[in-house]
Amino acid sequence: MISSQPTTAAPHVGAPVIAYIGLGSNLQEPQQQIALARTRILDHPEISEVAFSSLYHSPPMGPQDQPDYCNAVLAIYTLLPAIALLDFLQSIENQQGRVRQAQRWVARTLDLDILLYADQKIQLPRLTIPHPGMAERAFVLYPLYEIAPDLSIPELGELSQLLNHCPLNGLQRI
């Protein structure tokens, strides 16, 4: 029998969640890479901007034989599940010429990291949230504090407390 009723349920549409994205670049006009990435992220129909930090200049963490970085943090509202957000951010990294190398911690045109996704803890092969190592990274904590000073981070506690234990390590607001 042919039914006129739809046979599939409407997709579940959840409430938007807030997510924080760390942006970093140290190749090919880093400030422009960051600005372009912000525009591309906000072009997505299921993402809207909550806040964007200043740009920061930071010496490389890790191997020192690479240029200094430009860093920033973007807060968004999104309807995308965390993994779909990750896929989208990686597609932007690829569009902007990111070359994935076997060696870790090398120079890159663009790095987009999901730092926080709502107040969730996520442990998947491709994605760990909160972003591992964020508590030790001045180039993440200070821009994050600029746009969300009252933030409390799952497992890690108050952002303001984390800052107290994180030296600037040469970080400078541009």
Binding footprint of ligand ROI on the chain (CB under 6 A): 24, 58-62, 69, 71, 105, 111, 139
Does residue 116 contact residue 141 with C-beta atoms inside 8 Å? no
Spatial neighbors of 127 by CB under 8 A, at least 6 apart, are: 82, 83, 86, 114
Our answer to whether residue 113 is catalytic in this structure is yes
Quote the least distance from Cβ 66 to ligand ROI, whole Å: 7
Which residue in the list 38, 43, 65, 98 is annotated as catalytic? 98
CB-nearest residue to ligand ROI: 24
Q: How far is the CB of 25 from ligand ROI (least distance, A)?
A: 8
Other beta carbons less than 10 A from residue 64's beta carbon? 7
Nearer to ligand ROI, 103 or 164 (CB): 103
CA proximity to 170, closest of 89, 69, 90: 69
Q: How far is the CB of 149 from ligand ROI (least distance, A)?
A: 21
Per the annotation, the verdict on 43 as an active-site residue is: no
User: Per the residue annotation, which of 40, 43, 68, 113 is the catalytic one?
Assistant: 113
Minimum distance, C-beta of residue 4 to ligand ROI, in the bound complex (Å) = 54
Cα distances (Å, whole numbers) of residue 20 to 4, 64, 147, 148, 163: 43, 27, 10, 10, 17
- Of 166, 138, 134, the C-alpha closest to 56 is 138
Would you tell me how many other CB atoms lie within 10 Å of the CB of residue 18?
16
For the chain, the residue count is: 174
Among 40, 87, 100, 108, the active-site one is 108
CB nearer to ligand ROI: give 17 or 171: 171
Residues marked active site are found at 98, 108, 111, 113
